[in-house]
Amino acid sequence: MRPQSPPCELLARQDADYRGWLWVAPPRDGWLESGRGAVWSADLTVCEAWRQAGRPAYATLELPAVEVPGAVLFWPKSHALGAWWLESLSAALPRGTPIQIIGENQGGIKRVPKVLASMGHGCRKLDSARRCTLFATESGGAAQDSEAAWETFSAGDLTLATHPGVFGHGKLDDGTRLLLETLQGSPLASGSRDPLQVLDIGCGDGILAAWLARQGHEVTASDVSAFAVEATRRTLAANGLEGAVMQSDVFSRIDGMFGAIVSNPPFHQERAIDYGPAERLIREAPAHLAPGGTLTLVANAFLPYPDWLQAAFGGFETLADDRRYRVFRAVKARR
């Protein structure tokens, strides 16, 4: 199978024997998934694809004890997250284990030598092509402070936990702010303010889950990212609130029926636009809502959500519109 992404095209032309290597935070790419070795990723969709191909996949934030001849890190758009992956790899792998770092030039890969120098690691450039660059270093075997990258910040009267790689990282997203303002002035279920079983999909740092739990709702929160799942757990704990939190690719691991679903769904995968998760959220939501249950979500004004809402629910209403973002609500018909 041919590589499907520029970084993998660059890797495919290397002389290195990558059999048995650990692939860290890679994109979805059939060339990788059909090869050999294991993956370590916070993205459940990546890990599930590797498992379906019969490959080992680690979706946890701590790498279990593994013996590998080397590791390849795909540099993310967040430099702080890239540094976290590097530090984690260096701490988890035996000293001297080869580590390669690959990324697109527009994604900031050229800053990697400075990042490595700040960690006391050497660095050499191996190759460049397809507007990508490949660097090489090796693990240092130093211990890592697993709590160092975790931070907290305040949003209203809530304390939120955050980590590089979590949506919004350290600030309240404007779309989420509009959604919260709208929820404060509109009950989740039409004509009722009674507590509901509520599902927060794409929970991020947990602000929606925490706010909903504080209103007395029974909250289930999910996200495809292991970083977001842990952030939401920490946010709930920091505010003395309870809720179930799980890693799920939209509804892939969600059981039960809900009185309401609330979401600020993602539409980016790194720098690429990806409408897939949001479309699945809207189209599959009725199957997870009780009769009369509601889907409330916020979206950038240019996104094609109205068509999907109309097709899935037969109608919807716009609760708020500040020209940048819109808050939509659709109701599952009562039989």
Q: What is the pLDDT of residues 289-334, one digit of tens each?
A: 999 999 999 998 888 899 999 999 999 999 999 999 999 999 999 8
For 117-173, how does the pLDDT look when each residue is reduced to its tens digit (9 = 90+)? 988 889 999 999 999 999 999 998 777 777 889 999 999 999 999 999 998 888 899
pLDDT at 168: 85
Token pair 């059999």 in the structure block, residue: 19
Query: Chain-centre distance of CA 157, in angstroms?
Result: 25
- Quickly tell me which residue has 């379906």 as its tokens: 52
pTM equals 0.93
Task: End-to-end CA distance of the chain: give it in Å, rounded.
Answer: 49
- Taking the C-alpha atoms of residue 231 and residue 162, their distance in angstroms, rounded to an integer, is 6
* Tokens of residue 201, six digits: 């999909």
The predicted structure's pLDDT at residue 270: 46
Q: In which element (H, E) is residue 31 found?
A: helix 30-33
C-beta of residue 300 within 8 angstroms of C-beta of residue 284: no
Three-class SS of residue 20?
Answer: coil
Q: Is 46 helix (H, G, I), strand (E, B) or coil?
A: helix
Q: For residue 11, what are its two tokens? A: 């890797």
- Locate 306 and state its tokens: 């109205």
User: Rounded mean pLDDT of 197-208?
Assistant: 97
Instruction: Report the C-alpha gap between 249 and 207 in whole angstroms.
Output: 19
Condensed to tens digits (0 to 9), the pLDDT of residues 239-284 reads 999 999 999 999 999 999 999 999 998 764 545 556 788 999 999 9
For residue 270, the number of C-alpha atoms closer than 13 Å in the C-beta half-sphere is 18
Distance from C-alpha of 76 to C-alpha of 245, rounded to nearest angstrom: 25
User: In order of start, what are the domains of the chain with their CATH numbers?
Assistant: 6-138 (3.40.50.150), 151-331 (3.40.50.150)
Q: Is 323 helix (H, G, I), strand (E, B) or coil?
A: coil
